[in-house]
Structure 1
Amino acid sequence: MPDTPINYLLAVGLTAGLTVICVGLHYEALRLISSIHPKRLSGKLNIAVMILLIILTHCIEAVIFSGGYWLGTEWLGIGRLTGMQEHGPAAYIYFSLETFTTQSIGDIVPIGQLRLLAAVQPLVGLILIGWSTSFTFLIMRRDWQWDDERGARN
């Protein structure tokens, strides 16, 4: 992993590409979740399903980033992750999940230009988690209000 301009460009491209993919996925997931609103179920059940779908979406986004770490390590040669006992998919997913959530225990450390991806992923994760929080608030307000109106009619 030489310290060359092309490797930095590869890291920037990989980071930008993964960011765009995850933001697009997040938008589409929230749009889909918003359109699913079965009136025959309680608002509380809708909210529970929504939360589970949002958690699943965040996990998928972390898996997408883990693919970026694998790609950067194995194909692009722009860095590697040190401290991994095993170099299989589970290790990349573990590192990506802890980075996405900003937990960052520190047992696995990126080196080389792959550090750019590891530096930007928590920012992306925080923004997407914040977006999910705002969305959850709006849906809860809508569903709980709908439950209250339905209860008043009965």
Structure 2
Amino acid sequence: MMADSAVMSEVVFASMVSLAMVLTTVTLHYWALAGLSALLKRWPDFRGEILLVVMVMFVAHMVEVTLYAWVYLILDQGDTAMNLAGAVDGSFLDHLYFSTACYTSLGLGDLYPLGTLRLIAGVEALNGLILITWSASFAFLVMQRRWRF
């Protein structure tokens, strides 16, 4: 019974971390795109709009990936059931690389999560997919509105 209770508390903890990260990254992404939209409305004749859109979205995605990497680094400390395994040396770069692989749904497999860290990694993949498609939709709308052929 004690083991089941410990596993359940880890699952609840990982679920709360995942929810917090989704709320944080979706809010960050919303503000990035809303700010970008407001800026483009003020500059109706700006010719480099799609370049600006792509650059701002790339920076937003990198910030989101980095936030997940910090979570992985913090959770991957000591004797916990939430560790990265594989060709990992414990550096921030390893965690950033793993986060990028999860966020983009690339999932290379040379680094992999153990325990309930798998839940957070899975949620990051879904979160990244949603945010990447949101960015693509935004870029499409900007191009459709401004690049009439």
Aligned pair partner of 2:44 in 36, 39, 45: 39
1:19 aligns with one of 5, 8, 22? 22
Cα distance in 1 for residues equivalent to 2:75 and 2:18: 10
2-structure distance, mates of 1:55, 1:109? 25
Q: Say whether 1:104 aligns with 2:107.
A: yes
Give, in angstroms, the shift of residue 11 of structure 1. Answer: 0.6
CA deviation string 1:24-43 (max 9, x = no partner): 0010110011111223431x
Match in the other structure for 1:152: none
Query: After TM superposition, what 4+ stretches of structure 1 lie above 3 angstroms from structure 2?
Result: 75-78
Q: 1:77 aligned to 72, 75, 80, which one? A: 80
How far did residue 108 of structure 1 move?
0.2
Paired residue type of 2:138: F
Q: Which amino acid is the alignment partner of residue 37 of structure 2?
A: S
1:18-68, Cα deviation, whole Å (9 max, x unpaired) = 0110010010110011111223431xx111111011011111111111112
Number of residue-to-residue matches in the alignment: 143
Q: Is the aligned partner of 1:86 residue 2:89? A: yes
Normalised to the residue count of structure 1, the TM-score between the two structures is 0.85
CA deviation after TM superposition for structure 1 residue 86, in Å: 2.1
Q: Which residue number in structure 1 is paired with residue 137 of structure 2?
A: 134
Q: State the identity as a percent.
A: 29
CA contact 2:88–2:111 (8 Å) conserved in 1: no
Q: Deviations over 1:71-97 (max 9, x none)?
A: 222289341000133211111000000
Task: Flag the structure with more relative contact order, 1 or 2, with Cα contacts below 8 A and sequence separation at least 6.
Answer: 1
Higher radius of gyration, 1 or 2: 1
Task: Specify the code of the residue in structure 1 equivalent to 2:46.
Answer: L
8 Å Cα contact 1:67-1:92 kept in structure 2: yes
Relative to the length of structure 2, the TM-score reads: 0.88
1:65 corresponds to which of 65, 68, 93: 68
Q: CA RMSD in A?
A: 1.9
Identify unmatched segments of 5+ residues in structure 2. none
Provide the C-alpha distance between the structure 1 equivalents of 2:52 and 2:79, rounded to a whole number of angstroms: 39
Instruction: Decide whether the 8 Å contact of 1:10 with 1:78 is kept in 2.
Output: no
